[in-house]
Amino acid sequence: MPYSSENDFFIPEVNFENSLFCGTVDFSDSTFENSIIFDNCTFKDSAIFFKTIFKQICSLINSKFEADIYFQEVELFSKIDFSNSKFNDHAVFNNSSFRSLVGFMRCEFNGDLSLSNSKFEDTVDFTKSNFNQELISTDTLFKTVIFIFCSFKDRIDFSNCIFQEESSFSNSMFNKSATFFDAEFKKEINFKHCLFRGDSFWAGIVASKKATFLNSKFMGYSFWDDSLFEADVDMYSCCFNELEMNNAILTKSVNFNNSTFLKSSFENTRFNGPVYFNNTIFIEETIFDKVIFNDYINFENCDFCSETYFLQSLFDNWVYFRDSIFYKKTSFAGSICKEKILIERSDIEHLSLANTNIDHFDFIDCKWGKTKYAPIYDDTYQNIVGINDATLETIYRRLKVKARDRADEMQTSHWHFREKEMQKKQFNLALRCISSDLI
């Protein structure tokens, strides 16, 4: 026979420790005025706590739930602890109010877990828990949430959640998609040393305090469009397979040092604080089109292995490229810099200067090609770029003036030679045209 309480029955202190429940357990519409203990219990059938009120501690430590467990529209005024428990089927904690500590440490969830539309007004701790099926927690309010050293084998969804205090997911592994659409983090968030094997979705998130993703790996698609970071962002030594952070706003410093980007796009994003990309590798196409940089940017010792674009971007402060290599076409066409774009000790054989204001640049000890008097990228690929000899002559003349202003005699000579080559090409073309007319 299933065990069930009478509706609206006030139950005194109860101890079910080490019990075996073979049928359905139903405490719906019950109120526990005192503590209730279910430690080391086994529930063979469903455990139902619908509209149940717990006024004191509820302990279910080291318990085993073979079937569904339902904590729906429950009110808990004191601590509830499921530590070391095993959930073999659906675990539903929807539309409930948890006003004190909630413990799920070292739990194993073999069925899906749902926390949607609930309020956690104190710390909820899932440290070292394993999630073998989906975790859905949409429209949930958390105070402090801890998911450190967790393993998520199926998708998780925290869309539209509010995290009022510090949130930590550090040292966790996400095997499938992780979704945080429109989530709001009011205090610090910590995702350091995480592994995202599947896609991760962060579009529309608001992070009011520091966001840390130190040494995390995003092996799937990572989508951050329209996100807002109101404090520092630390993505030091991260790995991104495909990063899309378009139309985002980052108001403080951003650290991407020692990171690797397979493919990345930051189109229409605004960086209000300093940005660091030192010792970073960009493997495939990199897009910074129409980006606003309000503070200085560092790209020191970077490798740009594929095409890189800073088209129509605005730089309000200094931009530094030191000891970097551009392996494929790189363009700043249409961009504006209010200070200088300093490129020093870098290999810029593939830097395109077409439609670029060269006055914004300073080139110091750069490598323009493999031979003496090597042409610039736009000259080498003139037919592809679609630039004429007169425009190239103007570019070389402006480069010559900049080199002469720095008293760089060798580079001045280099650009003077290239300028005269362009004049010669135009003169020879004019002669051929005249000869053709005479014939």
**Mind giving me the DSSP string for 37-79?**
E-TT-EESS-EEEET-EE-S-EE-TT-EESS-EEEES-EESS-
Q: What's the confidence (pLDDT) of residue 379?
A: 95
Q: What is the pLDDT of residues 315-345, one digit of tens each?
A: 999 999 999 999 999 999 999 999 999 999 9
Q: CB-based burial of residue 383 (10 Å sphere; 0-12 exposed, 13-18 middle, 19+ buried)?
A: exposed
Q: What's the confidence (pLDDT) of residue 11?
A: 53
CA distance 226 to 332: 24
**Residue 408 domain-assigned (yes or no):** no
SS3 (DSSP) at 105: coil
CA distance 305 to 280: 11
SS3 (DSSP) at 104: coil
Q: What's the confidence (pLDDT) of residue 428?
A: 83
Q: How many domains does the chain have?
A: 1
**Residue 110 domain-assigned (yes or no):** no
Distance of CA 293 to the CA centre of its chain: 18
The pTM (predicted TM-score) of the whole model is: 0.91
**Residue 319 domain-assigned (yes or no):** no
Q: What's the confidence (pLDDT) of residue 10?
A: 52
Q: What's the confidence (pLDDT) of residue 9?
A: 52
Q: What's the confidence (pLDDT) of residue 439?
A: 57
**Residue 94 domain-assigned (yes or no):** yes
Each of the 439 residues of the chain gets a pLDDT tens digit; together they read 344 444 445 555 789 999 999 999 999 999 999 999 999 999 999 999 999 999 999 999 999 999 999 999 999 999 999 999 999 999 999 999 999 999 999 999 999 999 999 999 999 999 999 999 999 999 999 999 999 999 999 999 999 999 999 999 999 999 999 999 999 999 999 999 999 999 999 999 999 999 999 999 999 999 999 999 999 999 999 999 999 999 999 999 999 999 999 999 999 999 999 999 999 999 999 999 999 999 999 999 999 999 999 999 999 999 999 999 999 999 999 999 999 999 999 999 999 999 999 999 999 999 998 887 789 999 999 999 999 999 999 999 999 999 999 898 889 999 999 999 999 988 887 677 776 665 5
Q: How many CA atoms lie within 13 A of 109 on its CB side?
A: 30
Tokens of 406: 């720095």
Q: What's the confidence (pLDDT) of residue 429?
A: 74
**Residue 36 domain-assigned (yes or no):** yes
Q: What's the confidence (pLDDT) of residue 4?
A: 45
Distance of CA 94 to the CA centre of its chain: 28
**Residue 59 domain-assigned (yes or no):** yes
Q: What's the confidence (pLDDT) of residue 3?
A: 43
The dihedral region occupied by 73, where left means phi > 0, alpha psi between -120 and 50, and beta the remainder, is left
CA distance 431 to 170: 71
**Residue 58 domain-assigned (yes or no):** yes
Q: Which residues contact 252 (CB under 8 A, 6 or more apart)?
A: 229, 230, 231, 232, 233, 272, 273
Per the DSSP assignment, residues forming a β-bridge with 193 are none
Exposure class string for 81-91: b at 16+ Cβ within 10 A, else e: bbbbbbbbbbb
CA distance 408 to 429: 32
Tokens of 236: 């030091």
Task: Residue 377: name the closest of 431, 280, 290, 304 by CA.
Answer: 304
Q: What's the confidence (pLDDT) of residue 213?
A: 98
CA triple 123-37-31, angle to 5 deg? 80
**Residue 57 domain-assigned (yes or no):** yes
CA distance 177 to 428: 62
- Containing structural domain, residue 44: 1-100
Q: What's the confidence (pLDDT) of residue 13?
A: 72
